[in-house]
Structure 1
Amino acid sequence: MKHLFDLLGVLLGLYTAYSAWRGRVYGKSGAGGRSWHRNEDPNGFWTLIAIYAAVSVLLVVWF
């Protein structure tokens, strides 16, 4: 089971790096989800990038 969490952590880390490079990240918001753009809402964008990065590290290290 640990390998599954390692894989999920690596995939989430890759998505986070790709989203930071691209300037758009998708996240849950209310009942659905939405995209945050670096140019339109930099605080929300970087907050979500930081959360995704922390979760990806936790998936690899903790679980």
Structure 2
Amino acid sequence: MKHLFDLLGVLLALYTAYSVHRGRVYGKSGAGRRTWERTEDPNGFWTLIAIYAALSVLLVVWF
């Protein structure tokens, strides 16, 4: 089971890096999903990037 969480953590880290490069990230908002763009909402964008980065590290280290 540890390998599954390691894989999920690595995939989430790759998605986070890709989102930083692209400048757009998708996240859950209410009942659906929402897009945060770096140019339109930098605070929301970087907050979600930080959450995804922390979650990816926790998936690899903690679980």
Establish whether TM, by shorter chain, passes 0.5. yes
Using structure 1 for the length normalisation, give the TM-score: 0.99
SS at match of 1:13: helix
Count of residue correspondences: 63
* Percentage of matched positions with identical amino acids: 87
List structure 1 segments (4+ residues) > 6 angstroms apart after TM superposition. Answer: none
**Deviations 1:14-37, CA, capped at 9 Å, x for gaps:** 000000010000000000011000
The residue identity in structure 2 corresponding to 1:7 is: L
State the Cα RMSD in Å: 0.2
Residue segments in structure 2 that go unaligned for 5+ positions in a row: none
Q: Distance in 1 between matches of 2:52 and 2:37?
A: 15
Using structure 2 for the length normalisation, give the TM-score: 0.99
Match of 1:54 in 2: 54
The residue identity in structure 2 corresponding to 1:59 is: L
Residue segments in structure 1 that go unaligned for 5+ positions in a row: none
Once the two structures are TM-superposed, the CA of residue 54 in structure 1 deviates from its matched residue by: 0.1
